[in-house]
Amino acid sequence: MNPPATVSIESATPDQAPLLTAIAHASKRHWGYPESWIKFWETQLTVLSESLATRPTAVARIGGRVVGFHQLQPLGRSLRLDHLWVLPQWMRQGVGTALLRDACHRGVSLGWRELRIVSDPHAVGFYERIGAVRVGVERDSIEGQLRELPVLLVPLDPAR
Ligand SMILES: CC(C)(COP(=O)(O)OP(=O)(O)OC[C@H]1O[C@@H](n2cnc3c(N)ncnc32)[C@H](O)[C@@H]1OP(=O)(O)O)[C@@H](O)C(=O)NCCC(=O)NCCS
């Protein structure tokens, strides 16, 4: 068995927007959605370089290669996890956990008390495993199909 991969986390830079957009697309496709849905989500899956200059964003590297990223955005009274994507070949190796932990640390250092997540239904087990609490659902419809997206909160505890 291979040893666990060593993941390093660093702030993203604006020139990484195309790379992060490609990672978001590859990661979303992992759940097997039809291409027409991927096209429908184009805006959500696109990372603009301006957002990298203004929103807390971090990339995960393994062996020098960027394998995932997160991006945060203030929204009302909470901080929202706008993006969390890991390349399919690097899933289930601790990258998502390392990114989410970094997102929480950044949230705490910016003075936020909770992180809000609107989860893909396939990812909800991951968030619950790291302590996120389900607080509701957001409803969405695509090509006539109703989707319920779990909404979760992670308390941001400065003592942790
Ligand atoms: C969801 C995602 C970020 C998880 O990242 P990851 O690097 O695979 O997660 P980790 O390896 O850190 O997993 C941590 C734990 O959660 C579990 N886990 C990971 N993905 C899971 C899933 N989809 N459902 C249930 N549990 C999951 C792991 O088995 C692991 O458990 P363990 O500690 O007992 O071994 C990743 O699968 C991904 O990018 N998915 C596609 C994009 C997506 O849906 N992103 C979320 C948008 S809201």
Reported as a single tens digit per residue, the pLDDT across 24-58 is 999 999 999 999 999 999 999 999 999 999 999 99
User: Atom of ligand 1 at shortest distance to CA of 127?
Assistant: 16
> Is position 60 within any domain?
yes
Residue 1 has pLDDT above 60, yes or no: no
Provide the percentage of residues in the chain whose pLDDT is more than 70: 97
Q: Give Cα separations from 132 to 14, 67, 152 (angstroms).
A: 29, 23, 6
> Is position 23 within any domain?
yes
> Is position 149 within any domain?
yes
CATH of the domain at 131: 3.40.630.30
Q: Which of 7, 92, 104, 147 to mutate to test the pocket of ligand 1 (most atoms within 8 A of CB)?
A: 92
Reported as a single tens digit per residue, the pLDDT across 79-122 is 999 999 999 999 999 999 999 999 999 999 999 999 999 999 99
Provide CB contacts within 8 A for 5, sequence distance 6+: 62, 63, 90, 93, 94, 95
> Is position 93 within any domain?
yes
Query: Residue whose CA is closest, atom 28 of ligand 1?
Result: 92
Rounding to the nearest 10 degrees, give the CA dihedral for residues 18, 76, 81, 8. 80
Query: Residue whose CA is closest, atom 11 of ligand 1?
Result: 92
Task: Say how far apart CA 1 and CA 93 lie, in whole Å.
Answer: 13
> Is position 160 within any domain?
no
> Is position 2 within any domain?
no
Give me the pLDDT at residue 160, please: 65
Between vectors from CA 15 to CA 108 and to CA 52, what angle results, nearest 5°? Answer: 30
